Amino acid sequence: EAVTLQVVLSTTSVPSPSNGSDTYRWRGQSGGFTSEFSTRVTWDRLRVTSPTVSWFEVVWFKEEIPRCSFITWLSMLARLPTRNRLLSWGLQVPDSCVLCADGLESHNHLFFDCPFAVQIWNKFCGRFISSPPAHLQAAVLMSSQFQDPYSFQVKVIFKLILQVIIYGLWRERNARIFRNVSL
């Protein structure tokens, strides 16, 4: 590679005003060079693309509440520091759920299996939600199955309810642990 570089550099003419001015060339969508810069093309060439996840539209949508979307996103990835995760990291913390004092605190328990969470879910069950979802993937599936004439609005409301319940439960859990306060 060093020899090839030396050959190329020794055969390339030195830039001078008589040869014309330098120009910028940008890598294009097809891989060739172009004189126009595109942020989108540059981003697409730099990033490693991953397939779209099934829950994308449940977390990120126009009517979202950013703080609720962020916590929902972390819960979909199972990245919230629940007690079962803290224990897996080797931390010495109690394993029981602070909302019900029964059961191992995990993402699924905290947001769906905990009796406290079930009570909250039941308050929102009614015309459009016959029964609470059993886990996050069930909630994602449920959001795509509304067949009402007002299904767009119902879908948005369901996604907001899902996010607000997850956010509210996470906030309640943290208030009980860190401030010893029950909201």
- DSSP classification of residue 96: B
Across the chain, mean pLDDT equals 90
CA distances from 51 to 48, 55, 56, 114, 159 (A): 10, 12, 11, 32, 22
| Coil, strand or helix at 182 | coil
Q: How much is the pLDDT for 67?
A: 97
17-21, 49-53, 112-116, range with the lowest pLDDT: 17-21
Residue 138 has pLDDT above 80, yes or no: yes
The whole-model pTM stands at 0.75
